[in-house]
Structure 1
């Protein structure tokens, strides 16, 4: 089983590259953002809680996120693998994910970190907001999300680096070039 974490700040291209990786490697996509938006759209109790947390520009508590992820994995046991997009965001989440996946005998294969400058991120998200109108791309919330990434989430990288699973990929350039770099890393990991 191929289990990947795609990592990067808001606007790094995680969603775009995830779609391409899903098609190529037949993975099941687990996006915490999509899960949260689904719960919000369906007005579940969890969705109402998550809506307020996200509206305030904060991260959803680990306990809620991890429970949702475990349910999603259990519901897709026949998948060839998973790609985790937007998770883990803290070392505690990474440890919880590792513990859960290792208990199933299917640990994380590789962590793919898209490296993109803050200037590029701001430009990309401004363009995305014009097209999609996503509420989480509003300027004030965006600034908070980027700060959250660089102040908290980025500390997950050394955790995976210590396991030899971290792979940094230049996230600036043509989509196909970035995808080729990601595929090269994955194919090398699969060959081991």
Structure 2
């Protein structure tokens, strides 16, 4: 299957992407990994992306799309792939459709991980990291340390990242609603969107997603 994974920050996309890709035996293609790989390997696209990033500018859609195209053309993606973090806006979704048409293939399903906004804020703003390396992660509600502010594992100081503050999380949600959420409506017109709740244990969410994708495939 060729799947696009969408959902707000804190919906658990990264966790579910890895699990679903493994279960479905398809590669997990994330925007972050694409950028890191191209930059570390000093590809032409990587150098171009880095030039924008070093200047403090957003990497243009066409560069991101070119990276995704190159990755989707790798042999391990012939039988399908799971896109995580791409497309990020409607113009990228349109470009992806055009790209796939030239290859004679299409997106099979768009998996939308749904989670209430206040739960997103609670999940991210409650996260605490250990300052020591490797950094261990705790959560003030879901996995609190035995002693507040102290890592259970190494005794290091726990802290909240600046971009995990409630104010920053709400700004990230605004960006998601403005830029990324419209792709759900875009794909709904094609009858491709499968929405599931991203609440509950990780294993249950994975199973929920697999069953929803199976139903979607059977209906096509």
**TM-score under structure 2 length normalisation:** 0.74
Give CA deviations for 1:115-148 in whole Å, capped at 9, x if unaligned: 1122222232235562399979443654433221
Tell me the equivalent position of 1:50. Answer: 53
Greater displacement, 131-140 / 81-90:
131-140
Q: C-alpha root-mean-square deviation of aligned residues, in Å? A: 2.8
CA distance in 1, matches of 2:55, 2:191: 37
| Aligned partner of residue 194 in structure 2, secondary structure | strand
**TM-score under structure 1 length normalisation:** 0.83
Q: Which has the higher contact order (CA 8 A, sep 6+)?
A: 1
5 Å matches for 1:95-110?
95-110=94-109
Q: Which structure has the larger Rg?
A: 2
The answer to whether residue 185 in structure 2 is matched with residue 158 in structure 1 is: yes
Unpaired runs of 5+ in structure 1? Answer: none
| Aligned partner of residue 152 in structure 1, secondary structure | helix
Greater displacement, 138-147 / 92-101:
138-147
How many residue pairs get matched?
A: 187
Give CA deviations for 1:86-137 in whole Å, capped at 9, x if unaligned: 1111111111101111221220000000011222222322355623999794
Give CA deviations for 1:135-163 in whole Å, capped at 9, x if unaligned: 79443654433221012211111110000
Tell me the equivalent position of 1:69. Answer: 68
**Structure with the higher fraction of residues in helix conformation:** 1
Unpaired runs of 5+ in structure 2? Answer: 130-136, 139-158
Q: Is the CA contact (8 Å cut-off) linking 1:40 and 1:51 kept in structure 2?
A: no
